Amino acid sequence: MLIAAPPHDQNAANASQPDPLMRAAQNDKNRAWLRWLVTLVVSGFLFAYLPFWIGALWLFATLLAETVSATARARLAKGDCGVARVYVGAIFAVSTLWIAHALMLWAQNDDLARIAALMDLFTVALYGAVGGHKDQRILLALTAPPLLALASLLIGFAWSQAPAPLALIASIATLGACLTIAANGLAMHRSDQLLLSANVEVAKERDALETRVLERTQDLQKAHAALQAASRAKSEFLRVMSHELRTPLNGILGYAELLAEDIEAGEAKQDDALKIAASGRRLLRLINDVLDLASLEAGQISTGRENTDLSALLAAAQHSASEIAAQNQNQITINIAPEALFVATDAKRLLQIVRHVLDNACKFTNGGQIKISADIKTSAEGPKLIIAIEDTGVGMAKEDLQRIFEPFEQASQGMARSHEGAGLGLAITQRLTTLLGGTLDVTSTLGQGAKVVLELPAD
């Protein structure tokens, strides 16, 4: 007898998606041992309790089924798709032969024979329901004969034992039940096929997704490698330019200052030398700003913490801005609370921050006041150092406050034309403040000056 069982390797079947009939044939081969076991059990029962010819007929049907099955499987394995109809037809023929054998047993009017007949019918129907669902053709070939046989037996029994009206009702009910069973079987088959197709599509999509993820990962790795190479190139550029630009410029500044000292006071050449020195210092500040900004963006600036004399630090910042303050006739005052005289912070970075803010205040204030105040504020996170720098300069509009921290930006184009500077000071200041774990707040009113408040951890 032919048995179409579940696939031996479901994952492999789903991945390759072979023809359902080919899968059924392979499953038929894999379950040969089960069919031979059933054959031995049933043959033993038939030869022991029924006439010899009945057992011989059973054995003949089994051998015929195995021969047809093996022949069809061999041809299908070679790719002979034309034998598919013959294969399904052979299954139907052998199934019908089994049913004929069952009907013949039923006709013996012997209890044991009828038990054997029912065994035939239910065995074929069970094998069809369990093993034939992988291919609709095999499902029909295996289940149609037993269903028809069962329907015939039930209808015949009804007409022989019941009145005609009741027998008619029983016949209609039997046919309806058979049709329902057949419809449910086909529906189950279609459901299985849809599920199988969905699994195959999911497997394909998963494979495609894995391929896309792999390709994307490789692209990201290449991009990451390119970024690392660019970062290394940028670091090397900063290292080289830091030396190549600053070293000769420092030499120019030194010689200009020496020249100014050697020339007698009041001579025109001394004024020229002082202008050279002033221009050189301005250029050096610009170079330092550009290199510092590049280092900040590359993450190459480190910070530390040390006990800092805030009074000396603010005095150094005031001295650095004294030239610009004198040019614009500004007055700088410093007020430090006693508890803020010494704080734990990065003195070098804090001096850079204060210098940039103070230079900015001096540059945009003419004949005004610039006040620097420092204090300590307690908070839930710990003590905070508050440094406020307030000027009476030109101020700025609220809409300009959003972009003054961008590199190469100033409050307005008019200010950029009337005041020197590349617009890097506040951009560097904000990044250094963030690096130190602090915040920077700017408030201003156009024409009424500006106030910059720096807040840093002080413990």
Supply the pLDDT for residue 19. Answer: 59
Could you tell me the pTM of the whole model?
0.48
Report the distance separating Cα 123 and Cα 146, nearest Å: 9
Supply the pLDDT for residue 415. Answer: 52
Report the distance separating Cα 189 and Cα 4, nearest Å: 13
Two tokens at 165? 């009206």
> What is the pLDDT tens value at each position of the chain, 459 positions in all?
443 333 444 444 344 444 566 666 666 677 677 777 877 877 787 788 777 877 787 778 777 777 776 776 676 666 655 556 666 666 676 677 677 777 777 777 777 777 777 777 776 766 665 555 456 666 666 667 667 777 776 677 667 776 777 767 767 776 776 676 666 666 655 665 666 677 778 888 888 888 889 999 999 999 988 888 887 777 677 667 767 777 888 888 887 878 877 776 566 677 777 778 778 877 877 777 777 777 777 777 788 889 999 999 999 999 989 888 998 999 999 999 999 999 999 999 999 999 989 998 998 899 999 999 999 998 888 899 999 999 999 888 887 777 777 765 555 555 544 455 556 778 888 888 999 999 999 998 888 899 999 999 987
Supply the pLDDT for residue 227. Answer: 84
Q: How far is CA 217 from CA 214, 221, 324, in A?
A: 5, 6, 54
Report the distance separating Cα 100 and Cα 7, nearest Å: 30
Strand pairing partners for 307?
344
Q: How far is CA 162 from CA 13, 118, 166, 167, in A?
A: 51, 22, 6, 6
List all residues 6 or more positions away from 423 whose beta carbon is below 8 Å from its beta carbon. Answer: 406, 407, 408, 409, 410, 416
Under 8 Å between Cβ of 238 and 300: yes
3-state secondary structure 166-222: HHHHHHHHHHHHHHHHHHHHHHHHHHHHHHHHHHHHHHHHHHHHHHHHHHHHHHHHH
The radius of gyration of the chain's CA atoms, rounded to the nearest angstrom, is: 49
Supply the pLDDT for residue 24. Answer: 64
Q: How far is CA 237 from CA 98, 228, 245, 390, 393, in A?
A: 90, 14, 11, 37, 38
Supply the pLDDT for residue 416. Answer: 47
φ and ψ at residue 371, rounded to 5 degrees: -110, 130
